[in-house]
C-alpha cells in the first residue's frame, strides 16, 4: 500500500516513509492510496474474534507489505492489551468505552500502536529515533506512555510550565526511562513552534533522526479504525441500522470511523459531536469551512478551531459537502448543556460520563429525536476521573480514581526547565547526542 498527500503535489510514499515524515513535503497529510472493501456479512461473522484478531485482519492491507507478519502480530497484541467494553444504557443507546488503556483516554490505541511501529523501523535501520512532542496536556502523556520502555526510541516532551493540570504534569514528568520532560518557560504555542523549527533545522537533521508523534501522523490514524470494526462485530448491525456519535476535536477519530465505514463497517451515520468549537458542525450546516481561534470549554481535548484532519475528510469525499453530509451530521453543545448531561446520565442510568462523552451523548439524543428506532453508540473517549473537577460537581459525589491514575500522583516530578526558544531546545538535544 502506498500513501499519498492530501495536497496531491508530492509523490506517493511507502508506509515507512509516511510514518517517519509525518507531514508530506507539500504540507499535506498522508492517506492510503486505496481503501479495500470487505462485506458487512464478513464483519458480522467476526463476533467471536478478539479485538487483536480483528485489528490484525483489517490492518493487514495497510501494514503487511511494510512489516513482517509476525512483527505486525506482536505490535497488535502489545498495543491493544486492554478491554474495550460495550455498555448498554437503554434499549437504543450504547457506550463504547475506549478509555481502558494506561492513560485512560482513547489516544492510547493510536499512541501505543505508533510507538511500536516506529520502534520496528528503528530496529530495521539500527538507528535511534528521537520523538519530539509538544503537548498542552493529554496527548503528551498518551504518546509518552506508548513509547515508554520501547527500544531505540527517545521521547522528548515539551510542555508549558504552569499551564497543565497537576495530574497532567504528574503523568508527563514521572515516567522516567526513555522519556524526558522539558518544562518550557512559555506557552503551548512556544512549545509547538520550537518543535516545528527543530524539524526544519539541517544541523539537527544531520546529528539525529527526529520524528513527530502528533496527530497528523498516519500511524496514529489507521489503528483508530479497528474499534469501529470491532463495535460492528459485537453489535451485529446487519440486523439494524446503527449510528455512532464521536466527540470530535482534531477529527482523527471521526476520520478513522469514516474510513472503517468505507471498508465496509455497516454504520449508517456518524455524528460529529462538537463543543463550542464547532467548525465542522458549521461546515456541515453551511458548506463553508471557516476555521477560527479555539475557545476553552469543559471538554478541553476538543478545543480545536482549525481541525487538522479536516483535509483527510475532504480527501475521502472529494471535496463534496453533499457526499459528506450523506455520512456525517454535526451538532454542537455548550458547557452548560454538557454538565447537565453528566448529571442526567448519572441520574437516569447510574452511568458517569466524562465531559467529552457527554457531548457525544447530547448529540446522539438530538439525532434520535429525528430518527426514531435507531440504535446509537456513543464513543466514550476518556475516563471521568481524568476530569473530576467538572464531573464531581455535576453528579454531586466523588469519582473513584483508577489505581493507575492514582499511582502517578504519588511519584516525584522530574523535569528539565528550559527557556522558550528553539536555541534552548537545540542546546538540550545536542548536549545529549
Question: Using CB under 6 A as the criterion, which residues of the chain lie in contact with ligand PLP when the complex forms?
Answer: 105, 107, 138, 247-254, 301-302, 356, 381-382
Contact assessment for residue 132 and residue 415, using Cβ atoms and an 8 Å cutoff: no
> Between helices 188-200 and 422-432, what is the axis angle to 10°?
60
Which of 107, 152, 170, 386 is flagged as catalytic? Answer: 107
Please, which residues have CB within 8 angstroms of residue 336's CB and are 6 or more apart in sequence? none
Least CB distance to ligand PLP at residue 189 (A)? 18
Residue number with CB closer to ligand PLP (194 or 358): 358
Q: How far is the CB of 251 from ligand PLP (least distance, A)?
A: 5
Q: Which is closer to ligand PLP, CB of 208 or CB of 221?
A: 221
- Whether residue 107 lies in the annotated active site: yes
Residue 118 is inside which H or E element, if any? helix 107-125
**Residue number with CB closer to ligand PLP (71 or 335):** 335
Residue 30 main-chain phi, psi, to 5 deg: -80, 140
CB of 419 to ligand PLP, least distance (A): 28
- Output the smallest distance, CB 231 to ligand PLP, in A: 16
Closer of 21 and 168 to ligand PLP (Cβ): 168
End-to-end CA distance of the chain: give it in Å, rounded. Answer: 35
145: number of Cβ within 10 Å: 23
Nearer to ligand PLP, 106 or 422 (CB): 106
Q: Which residues of 315-349 are buried (b: 16+ CB within 10 A; e: fewer)?
A: bbbeeebeebeebbbbbbbebeebbebbbbbbeeb
CA-CA distance, 265 to 229, in Å (whole number)? 6
Closest approach of ligand PLP to the CB of residue 430, in Å: 32
Q: For the chain, what percentages of helix, strand and coil (3-state, to nearest 5) are there?
A: 50, 15, 35
Q: Which residues are catalytic?
A: 107
Amino acid at each position: 500500500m502506498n500513501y499519498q498527500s492530501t495536497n496531491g503535489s508530492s509523490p506517493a510514499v511507502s508506509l515507512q516513509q509516511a510514518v517517519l515524515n509525518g507531514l508530506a513535503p507539500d504540507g499535506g497529510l498522508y492517506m492510503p492510496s486505496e481503501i479495500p472493501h470487505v462485506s458487512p456479512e464478513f464483519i458480522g461473522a467476526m463476533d467471536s474474534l478478539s479485538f487483536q484478531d480483528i485489528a490484525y485482519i483489517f490492518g493487514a492491507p495497510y501494514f503487511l507489505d511494510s512489516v513482517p507478519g509476525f512483527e505486525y502480530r506482536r505490535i497488535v497484541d502489545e498495543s491493544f492489551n486492554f478491554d474495550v467494553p460495550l455498555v448498554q444504557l437503554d434499549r437504543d443507546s450504547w457506550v463504547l468505552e475506549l478509555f481502558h488503556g494506561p492513560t485512560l483516554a482513547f489516544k492510547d490505541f493510536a499512541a501505543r500502536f505508533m510507538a511500536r511501529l516506529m520502534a520496528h523501523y528503528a530496529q530495521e535501520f539500527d538507528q535511534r529515533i528521537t520523538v519530539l512532542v509538544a503537548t498542552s496536556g493529554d496527548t503528551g502523556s498518551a504518546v509518552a506512555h506508548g513509547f515508554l520502555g520501547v527500544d531505540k526510541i527517545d521521547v522528548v516532551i515539551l510542555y508549558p510550565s504552569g499551564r497543565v493540570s497537576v495530574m497532567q504534569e504528574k503523568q508527563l514528568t514521572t515516567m522516567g526511562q526513555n522519556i524526558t520532560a522539558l518544562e518550557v518557560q512559555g506557552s503551548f504555542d512556544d512549545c509547538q513552534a520550537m518543535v516545528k523549527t527543530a524539524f526544519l533545522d539541517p544541523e539537527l537533521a544531520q546529528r539525529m533522526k527526529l520524528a513527530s508523534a502528533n496527530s497528523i501522523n498516519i500511524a496514529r490514524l489507521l489503528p483508530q479504525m479497528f474499534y469501529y470494526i470491532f463495535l460492528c462485530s459485537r453489535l451485529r448491525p446487519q440486523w439494524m441500522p446503527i449510528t455512532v456519535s464521536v466527540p470530535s476535536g482534531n477529527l482523527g477519530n471521526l476520520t478513522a470511523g469514516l474510513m472503517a465505514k468505507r471498508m465496509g463497517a455497516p454504520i449508517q451515520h456518524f455524528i460529529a459531536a462538537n463543543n463550542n468549537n464547532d467548525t465542522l458542525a458549521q461546515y456541515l450546516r453551511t458548506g463553508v469551512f471557516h476555521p477560527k481561534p479555539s475557545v476553552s470549554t469543559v471538554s478541553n481535548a476538543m478545543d480545536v478551531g482549525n481541525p487538522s484532519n479536516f483535509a483527510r475528510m475532504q480527501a475521502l469525499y472529494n471535496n463534496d459537502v453533499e457526499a459528506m453530509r450523506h455520512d456525517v451530521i454535526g451538532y454542537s453543545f455548550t458547557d452548560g448543556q454538557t454538565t447537565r448531561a453528566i448529571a442526567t446520565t448519572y441520574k437516569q442510568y447510574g452511568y458517569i460520563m466524562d465531559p467529552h462523552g457527554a457531548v457525544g451523548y447530547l448529540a446522539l439524543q438530538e439525532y434520535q429525536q429525528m430518527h426514531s428506532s435507531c440504535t446509537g453508540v456513543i464513543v466514550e473517549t476518556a475516563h471521568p476521573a481524568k476530569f473530576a473537577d467538572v464531573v464531581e460537581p455535576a453528579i454531586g459525589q466523588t469519582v473513584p480514581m483508577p489505581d493507575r491514575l492514582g499511582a502517578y500522583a504519588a511519584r516525584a516530578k522530574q523535569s528539565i526547565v528550559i527557556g522558550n526558544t528553539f536555541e534552548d531546545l537545540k542546546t538540550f538535544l545536542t548536549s545529549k547526542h
